[in-house]
Amino acid sequence: RWLADLGDRRWWRRAQAATALGLMAERSAAGALVTRLEDMYDEVRAAAVDALGRIGDPATLPALVASLADPRQQRVRVVATLRAFGPAAAEEIIRRCLAYPADRVAVAEVLGHVGSAAGLEALTGWIEADEAAVRAAAFRAIGDIGPDERAYYFALRALGDPDPDVRAMAARVIGRSGRADAASYLAPRLGDVWLVAAHAAAALKQLGEAGRRQLATAASSDGPGAELARQMMWELGG
């Protein structure tokens, strides 16, 4: 009955059917549910996305990833569903990007939200893209996922990038690394433009005693980052 109701002319019956099939994890319904991703009603599309996530059939990943480009879709809902697929979702997202390289900024954002280390290799490759927006998006996503050793060293180098968005996201990555030996590299960025300085200060807060020492030194100076460093020290209780 539920499978037949996916084709019902009444949208609420289609939505109910999609929800029921998802709750039953009815794998044989996956193909029919994919067609509902393009339903004219938001409630039906949302129910289909949720159902496909519960069913978990990897064969539906290309359709789910492609649906991210549909402005009618609830992007957050689709990303949450993709996250449930784990590394396989990241691999499919990267495959789509190979076909549509102009979408790298949007793809990087999604990879960060999906949160799989499977996306780190591709993201690290985009760090050296010609477009600053791509470099910044790649670092933002790496910061969301958590950097590996290679990404960490790329982030250190990117603190000198000519684009402030890239420098800011690189500082964020370094903070996520937890590497105390990075504190001395972040400290000079406290005098950078506000966006970079704010991310550098937040990163230093994450680096334990080494970061605290750098903030204390900056706070006691008359340099351009002194006021921000004093604010961070106040937040740290010092």
Domains (ranges, CATH) in the chain?
1-85 (1.25.10.10)
Confidence of residue 23 (pLDDT cuts 50, 70, 90): very high
> What is the mean pLDDT of the segment spanning 115-141?
91
Confidence of residue 118 (pLDDT cuts 50, 70, 90): confident
> What is the mean pLDDT of the segment spanning 207-212?
94
Mean pLDDT, the chain, whole residue set? 93
> What is the mean pLDDT of the segment spanning 32-50?
96
Q: How far apart are CA 4 and CA 2, in angstroms?
A: 5
Q: Is the pLDDT of residue 48 over 90?
A: yes
Q: How far apart are CA 213 and CA 181, in angstroms?
A: 12
What is the torsion angle, in degrees rounded to the nearest 10, for the CA atoms of residue 115, residue 117, residue 119 and residue 120? 120
> What pLDDT does residue 115 have?
74
Q: Is the pLDDT of residue 238 over 70?
A: no
> What pLDDT does residue 192 have?
95
CB atoms within 10 A of CB 168: 27
Residue 149: exposure state from Cβ atoms within 10 A (0-12, 13-18, ≥19): exposed
Q: Is the pLDDT of residue 233 over 70?
A: yes
By percentage, how much of the chain surpasses pLDDT 90? 73
In one-letter notation, the amino acid at residue 232 is M
> What is the mean pLDDT of the segment spanning 89-102?
86
Residues 137-163 have pLDDT tens digits of 999 999 999 999 999 999 999 999 999
